[in-house]
Amino acid sequence: MLGVFLAGLTKLGPDTIAFSNGKHFTDELKKEIAMKSIPMSGKEGDSVSVSIQDFQAVSRLLLVPAFESGYDQRDSFVAFGVLISQETNPTAYNSMLKTIASVCSKYGCLDVPSLKELVPKLHKLPPNKILEIKPGVDVDISIDTTPTSGDRLRNALKSL
């Protein structure tokens, strides 16, 4: 896995909110990831897989509470995803992202602060653990965001 990202619709348009990777990606490339990961015709729960240079971005579109201050406090779309090589089949990654979104939603912590903290934690998992994220398998990712959502998310991910 080349990286993990969280992209969202900000006041300036699609932008990368959090990014964790093993190699250097330019700001221009991160912007392209954000632009292509949140399609204009996308809806909540969509899985998106797009080619960007020599890799593919596999993400899940999520509807989260407003995460920027200002007059517009409507829910907003974010894309939570991973970067993998072009040759890798994205199906297992789509399933993993769906499971993470489902667990976060179930425990009331499908929000930007929780997802931002998940980005580097997910990237640090050993490759053999990444695709084990599915119901019935214990994958330990401890998360601390706010006292309420962080505790709920930590407990939720331990119960996967």
Per-residue pLDDT of the chain (160 residues; tens, 9 = 90+): 789 999 998 888 889 999 998 677 888 889 999 999 988 888 999 999 999 988 999 999 998 988 766 656 778 889 999 999 999 989 888 888 998 888 888 878 888 988 998 898 888 876 666 655 555 555 555 444 344 445 555 565 655 5
Instruction: Quote the pLDDT of residue 127.
Output: 61
Q: Which residues of 44-54 are buried (b: 16+ CB within 10 A; e: fewer)?
A: eeebbbbebee
The 3-state DSSP composition of the chain as helix, strand, coil percent (nearest 5) reads 35, 25, 40
β pairing state of 13-21 and 47-52: unpaired
Instruction: Quote the pLDDT of residue 86.
Output: 93
CB 8 within 8 A of CB 78: yes
Instruction: Quote the pLDDT of residue 53.
Output: 86
Residue 135 exposed, middle or buried by CB count within 10 Å (0-12, 13-18, 19+): exposed
Domains delineated in the chain: 3-158 (3.30.450)
